[in-house]
Structure 1
Amino acid sequence: MVGLLAAPAAAGPLIWALGDSLTAGYGLPPAQGFTARLQEALRAGGIDATVANGGVSGDTTAQGRARLLWGLRGLGRVPDLAIVELGANDMLRGLPVAQARANIDAILTEFDRRRVPVLIAGMRAAPNLGSAYATAFDAMYPALARAHRARLYSFFLAGVAGRRELIQADGLHPNARGVAIIVAGIAPAVRGALPRPATARARR
């Protein structure tokens, strides 16, 4: 399932969420997916933001990197903020951490070049991959945030991971209740990562 880009609003900040199935809203009606619920939360808090869905189910960091420029062109304007939520599928497939890190680094470098602020949504490795892999994978996100001076939300699934009542039957993706918890957790970080002029415009 491919996440669809929301049409940018005429006014207010534009946020592009580049990610995988967690961003795309896999298994949920569009109105209950991450980007729709985040947009709703921001607007309820006085920020008239549009959150464009750049999530594609199954995407690895390499696939996210490959469609980065196409996705940016499709937005129609430079976003005020990008949320980068990638790496879970690399981890689930046991792909090399160095490869994932290089791909996310390239994505962040492109956003740097365009002067687009970034909020990195981190993930955590499954314990069955071993301690060495988990240590390297978990450390990847804060290291990239430091290198690019990007904001970091340390764990996208905070408050949801490991709680069966918040996960769909596939055992991987959050249900509507889980998405609500994710949004409540990350929304303050999104508000803090938005450039002040964009936030001020939205509240006028």
Structure 2
Amino acid sequence: MLLLFRRLSLMISVALAAIASPLAAKPVILSVGDSLTFGLGVPVDKTWPALLENKLKTEGHPGVKVINAGSSGATTAFGLSTLKFHLKRGKPDLIIYALGANDGLRGIDPATTHKNLSAAMDMIQAQGIKVLLLGMKAPPNYGEKFPKDFESSFTKVKDKYKPSFVPFFLEGIAGKPDLNQADGIHPNEKGYEQVLSLIYPKVKELL
């Protein structure tokens, strides 16, 4: 009886290992952001998280899953609850943190933005998860001090927590009509292709 029990236990262990191995081999990327991540105004398959998943699948990660956790209007404060929600459901291999644009648009105190970003990094790194932080710039019509302080809220976090870092999420895209929708804020399909080109080397390096 004991021998039979041991054999059954071994069979169950092997079966579970066979199921778990493929799942463990599939990197999961969580993309936390606002409407720029959600992809407001473009088809779902043209958002940068979808483009990233497709590109990774063709370049050595066929089982990759990129979760689009973007929410229109989200600020760095809202991002913390989004992060908590997803981390309770599972531990991704990489988190791409792309929040701050709405903080800048609303003129939120950069000290608050810095505090929220720091809290997010604490939460992520406490679980040993790799992170790519995407920086943002404030609108140029906000004078000199606010944009400078706003950008420093990202660089201070970068200097302290040492995440992989892209200084400006919309580098080469912002202000270009051919890469943005009519509102001048949200990238169009071509714009999101540029976002992918900007962040892909960092993602590939982290994976």
Q: Please, what TM-score do these two structures have when normalized by structure 2?
A: 0.85
Measure, in 1, the Cα distance between the counterparts of 2:106 and 2:192: 24
Does residue 179 (structure 1) correspond to residue 188 (structure 2)? The answer is: no
Q: Which residue of 1 aligns with 2:14?
A: none
Q: Which residue of 1 aligns with 2:155?
A: 142
Measure, in 2, the Cα distance between the counterparts of 1:142 and 1:128: 21
Question: What is the aligned length?
Answer: 184
Alignment of 1:87-106 (within 5 A): 87-106=100-119
* Structure 2: runs of 5+ lacking an equivalent: 1-21
Q: Which residue of 1 aligns with 2:40?
A: 26
Does residue 55 (structure 1) correspond to residue 66 (structure 2)? The answer is: no
Q: Which among 92, 95, 99 is matched to residue 82 of structure 1?
A: 95
**Are the counterparts in 1 of residues 69 and 82 from structure 2 also a CA contact under 8 Å?**
no
Measure, in 2, the Cα distance between the counterparts of 1:44 and 1:130: 44
The SS at the match of 1:158 is: coil
Per-residue CA shift, 1:87-143, capped at 9, x if unaligned? Answer: 000100001000011011101100011111110001111111111111111122122
The SS at the match of 1:67 is: helix
Opposite residue 50 of structure 2, the aligned amino acid is A
Measure, in 2, the Cα distance between the counterparts of 1:44 and 1:158: 25
Measure, in 1, the Cα distance between the counterparts of 2:76 and 2:181: 23
Q: Please, what TM-score do these two structures have when normalized by structure 1?
A: 0.86
Q: How far 1:73 moved relative to its partner?
A: 2.3
Q: How far 1:171 moved relative to its partner?
A: 1.4
Q: Which residue of 2 aligns with 1:68?
A: 83
Q: Which residue of 2 aligns with 1:116?
A: 129
**Are the counterparts in 2 of residues 141 and 152 from structure 1 also a CA contact under 8 Å?**
no
Q: How far 1:66 moved relative to its partner?
A: 2.4
- 4+ residue runs of structure 1 moved beyond 6 angstroms? none
Opposite residue 165 of structure 2, the aligned amino acid is L
Alignment of 1:156-175 (within 5 A): 156-175=169-188
Q: Which residue of 2 aligns with 1:36?
A: 50
| Higher helix fraction (1 or 2) | 2
Opposite residue 30 of structure 2, the aligned amino acid is W
Measure, in 1, the Cα distance between the counterparts of 2:82 and 2:66: 18
Q: Which residue of 2 aligns with 1:200?
A: none
Measure, in 1, the Cα distance between the counterparts of 2:74 and 2:160: 24
Measure, in 1, the Cα distance between the counterparts of 2:61 and 2:169: 21
The SS at the match of 2:72 is: coil
% identical equivalent positions: 38
Q: Which residue of 2 aligns with 1:152?
A: 165
* Structure 1: runs of 5+ lacking an equivalent: 1-8, 195-204
The SS at the match of 1:118 is: strand
Q: Which protein shows a greater Rg? A: 2
Measure, in 2, the Cα distance between the counterparts of 1:147 and 1:91: 21
Identify the structure with bigger relative contact order (alpha carbons < 8 Å, sequence gap 6+): 1
Q: How far 1:71 moved relative to its partner?
A: 2.1
Opposite residue 154 of structure 1, the aligned amino acid is P
**Are the counterparts in 2 of residues 41 and 183 from structure 1 also a CA contact under 8 Å?**
no
